[in-house]
Amino acid sequence: MGVVALPARRVRVGRAPPDRTHCAERQSALEKSVWCFAEELGDEDIDPCLGTTFDSLSEAYDFYNLYSWEHDFGIRYGKSRLNSAKTKCIQELVCGCSGKPTGENTRSCHCECPAMIRLLRSADNGCYNTEHRVTHNHVLMETCGEIAF
């Protein structure tokens, strides 16, 4: 009889601090972008410039997802880091083609694309953009519904 291996259990480390509470006077980066789009102030309404603040990581993901949709590429969560209190302090949102391919002759879309934004947690449990790499090393999609394969 062989030994049956149990699936690895994911270890949960620490507890994430609550997201920053939304202030009525402060307009989020996502809200600003949507309002600019509605008022048609420019060609590109969503710009993840350095220092852009967000109330939560999910809001930052939604913001960068809209940016990627506007520029015809997909995104995913990338590397993250934990601080000494075991809470997430750095999160990268990367192009869907980032990372190394699994094999030499595969149909993988991974081509080590450098496009990404890096988010740091602020003192009030929000997050802000500290790095934005714009360039891609692959062909971008023609339409929003196009599949990479």
- CA–CA separation, 9 vs 2, rounded Å? 21
In the prediction, which pLDDT does 48 show?
A: 83
Q: With cut-offs at 50, 70 and 90, classify the pLDDT of residue 45.
A: low
Residues 6+ apart with CB under 8 A from 83: 89
Q: With cut-offs at 50, 70 and 90, classify the pLDDT of residue 129.
A: very high
* Average pLDDT, rounded, for the chain: 78
What does the domain layout of the chain look like in residue ranges? 50-133
Q: Which of 9-18, 19-28, 32-41, 68-77 is the least confident region?
A: 9-18
Nearest to 71 by CA among 91, 101, 96: 96
Stronger pLDDT, 34 or 63, i.e. the higher one: 63
In the prediction, which pLDDT does 126 show?
A: 87
Taken in order 43, 49, 55, 56, the sign of the CA dihedral is positive
- CA–CA separation, 12 vs 60, rounded Å? 23
Q: With cut-offs at 50, 70 and 90, classify the pLDDT of residue 17.
A: low
Nearest to 20 by CA among 128, 94, 131: 128
Residues listed for the chain: 149
- pLDDT above 70 for 98: yes
